[in-house]
Structures are given as structure tokens and as C-alpha cells.
Amino acid sequence: MRIWNSDILRLLLAAFLAAIVSIFSGHFLYLLLLICIIYIVRQAILLNQIEQWLQSGAKKSPPSRSGIWGDIYHHIFRIKKTNKKRKKQLSRIIEQFRKSTAALPDAIVVLDEYDEIAWFNNAAKPILGLKKRDKGQRLPNLIRAPAFIDFLSKKDPDAILSIASPANAQITLQIKIVTYENNAHLLVAHDISYLKNIERMRKTFVDNISHELRTPLTVLKGYLETLRDMDDEHSPLLTHSLQQMNNQTLRMQCLVDDLLILANLETKKITHQCIEIQPLLAQVCQETGALDSINNRVELFVDSEVNIMGNEQELHSAFTNLIVNALKYSPEDSLVSVRWYQSGQFIILDITDLGEGIAELEIPKITERFYRVDIQRKQEKRGTGLGLAIVKHVLARHNAQLKISSQLGKGSCFSCVFPQKNFC
């Protein structure tokens, strides 16, 4: 309002002068019209000047003008200055962000909704083999591994993919996709080659040590048997000691055997063939039932004729472990049921016992190596703590899952769930 006041004041003053002049000369209205025309022309010239100043980017300091035009120049110039300052701050932050992400050892790629590369950091060059000219290209056209293309299309935030680096087959990568905003994605690739090497060394070590232990154990067991045969039971202490030594050697032999099975599962490639399940299950039930007692406690129900692709030896070992456990951890007069049936797109083997059951908190742990629930109580029940780890590995090699449901004091059900793609 203050600004307008000076312009209005000027107009009023001009009108007043026109009135005084018109006292002598008449033509008050003509004079007023002339004043208005001059005023409009002046405004048009000033408007044109400000338009030219803005067109040149308003970089030069504004020309000094009085009244409303002076204030308009001043405001525009001030807003421009503040924006410039903000822009500088923002580009400094962006620069810092770029520098820090560029320094990250992990490869980072920003993808748009069409999986086109918007930006990547320096580490993406050696790790993913990306080049400057790849910006704007679709990532699946550059990294063509089918597993990667499938992983990228799903964009599952919880999934992690392990693949060999497309730039260097010696590098193993762990890849994760993070979605931000609506359709933008961040691909993070972490080099886990050193972990893979440690894992490989661990596997080789376990494999070697198990093989090395096998021979001395066999020799030891042979001598112990000879000593037991020679023992004429005159010394109860000696008889007891020989018995204990024999038991412990047997235990160690089971441990070494299980470790070797696990090492093979981890290192050897699996060979698949169509397996007739009915005879396999009948054989396992017969063997395990016969092992347990004179009364066969195992009952078998084969409700589906579907067979599966797999490795017979491995499946034999997994099913045997589950049935032996069911027998071992349930009363000697209780039955164990083994049932093969189809449920929707899955074929399932249920092994159900009426035994001691497993506490809910323990269930996720029992498939870990060497984990045994309540070791104190289990001392009298022989075991290595490796049986379920073997089962889990075998099933994973068959794209199958182990599901465990159990109630303390009532019994347990171990289910091997095979997907449809295994049917044959």
C-alpha cells in the first residue's frame, strides 16, 4: 500500500496541476487524458525494462527505480539471491553424497521403473562390469544371468541373490534390491568372495579331518574287539572299561560318518533320477523298524502314486534319519506313522510319532549342527546332533522343505514337502 501511495500521490498531484492550468486555459478533461496517456506509456516502458532484465537472467543488480517498480526489482532480486544460496547448499550436499557413495566398497546402482541405469558408483565398474556409456541402458540387457533377471523382475525386498560377478567369475556377489519412492530401485552388490573362501576352507577341513579320523578309528575298533574276545571276565573293571571304550569308538565312528555325509552334501553335485517312492519307503521302514525292536513299530501309508526326481541314496539317508529319530524319541510301545500323500501342488512325507515332543522355542534350533535338546536327558539316547542337519541339506538339494510341528508330551510330525516341479 505504501508503494502505491507514492504513485497515487504523483497522479493526484498531476491532476491538481492540470486543474490549476485548466482554470486559465480550460480543457481540464483533455489535460487529464494526456496525463493518463503519459502515465500508461511510462508504465509500459518500465514493464518492458523489467521483462528484459528478467530475460537476461536477472543476474545484474537491478536498476534503481522509484515507487512500485523499484520494490518489484528489489523483491525479485532478493528471491533470486536466496534461491542461488539454496541451490549452492543443495549441490554441496549432492556432491558429498556422491563422493561418499563413490567411496563405498559395495557396488550401488540406481535404477528407474524400467530397470534403466540412472546412476552408479565407482565400485560398480569392477564389481558389475558397468561402464560410463551404460547409463540409460536396461540392466537386464547388461547382466544376462537368468537367475539375476528373475531376481530383478521380482524385486522382493527380503530376497538376497548370490551370483558370480559378470566382470570376474572369481568374485562372488550378494545382491539386494531396495525400493524407494514409488518405482525407483537401488541395487546393492556386496563382494562375499572372502566368506566363500572361508566356507570352502571349512568344508575341505571337515572333509579331510573326517577321512583322516576314519582309518585310526577302524584300527582302534579292531583292537578293542580283539581285546574283548580275549577278555575272560576275570576283571569286571577291565570288562567294563573295554565296553565303554567300544561304545565311545562306535559313537565317534557315527560322528565321523555323519560329518562325511554332510561334507559330501555340501561339496558333491547331485544327480537326479526318477525314484519309485513306494519301494524306497518300504525298504526304509523295514530297516528302521527292524532296527528298533522285535515288534515293528513303523506303519507305512502310501496314499499317492506320484514319484519324484531325486537322489535315492540321499533321500534314503534323510528318511532313515527322520524315522530313527521318531522311534528314538518316543516310548518303545508307541507307533510311528509314515505317510506319503499329495496336497495341492505338493507331495508330502509325514513322519508322526507320539513321543516326548519338542518345545516351540527349540524347533528352529534342532536342525542346526550338533544341537541336541536337553543334552543331560539325551545322554542315554545316542546321537550325533547331525541327523536333522543332514535331512535339511538333502531336502534343500531337492528343492524341498522340512516342516516341523510338535507338542510337548504329545508327539511330533516332521514333514518333507516336495514341490510339483519334482514330480515324475
| Residues at the contact surface with ligand ADP, assessed by CB under 6 A | 321, 325-326, 329, 353, 355-356, 358, 366, 371-373, 378, 383-389, 412
Q: Are 193 and 171 in contact (CB under 8 A)?
A: yes
Q: Smaller CB distance to ligand ADP: residue 46 or 326?
A: 326
* Residue 159 grid cell: 530376497
Of 62 and 355, which has the nearer Cβ to ligand ADP?
355
What are the residues whose beta carbons fall under 8 Å from the beta carbon of 387, sequence distance 6 or more?
258, 321, 324, 325
Nearer residue to ligand ADP within complex by CB, 39 or 371: 371
Q: Decide: 323 and 335 in contact? Cβ < 8 Å.
A: no
The distance of closest approach from Cβ of residue 258 to ligand ADP in the complex, given in angstroms and rounded to an integer, is 8
Residue type, 203: K
Q: To which H or E segment does residue 35 belong? A: helix 28-55
Q: Which 3 state secondary structure label does DSSP give 407?
A: strand
Q: Please report where in the chains the cell 521302514 appears, as a residue.
A: 285
The cell for 49 is 525494462
DSSP E strand stretches across 264-394: 273-275, 298-302, 308-310, 336-343, 346-353
- Give dist(CA 56, CA 51) in Å, integer: 9
Shortest approach of ligand ADP to residue 288 CB, angstroms? Answer: 12
Minimum Å distance from CB 351 to ligand ADP?
Answer: 8
Q: Shortest gap between Cβ of 263 and ligand ADP (angstroms)?
A: 16
Q: Of the two residues 199 and 368, which places its CB atom closer to ligand ADP in the complex?
A: 368
- To the nearest whole angstrom, how small is the minimum distance from the Cβ of residue 362 to ligand ADP? 7
Q: What residue spans of 184-233 are helical by DSSP H?
A: 193-230
| Minimum separation from the CB atom of position 256 to ligand ADP (A) | 14
Nearer to ligand ADP, 172 or 321 (CB): 321
For ligand ADP, which is the closer residue by CB, 127 or 386?
Answer: 386
- The three-state secondary structure class of 109 is strand
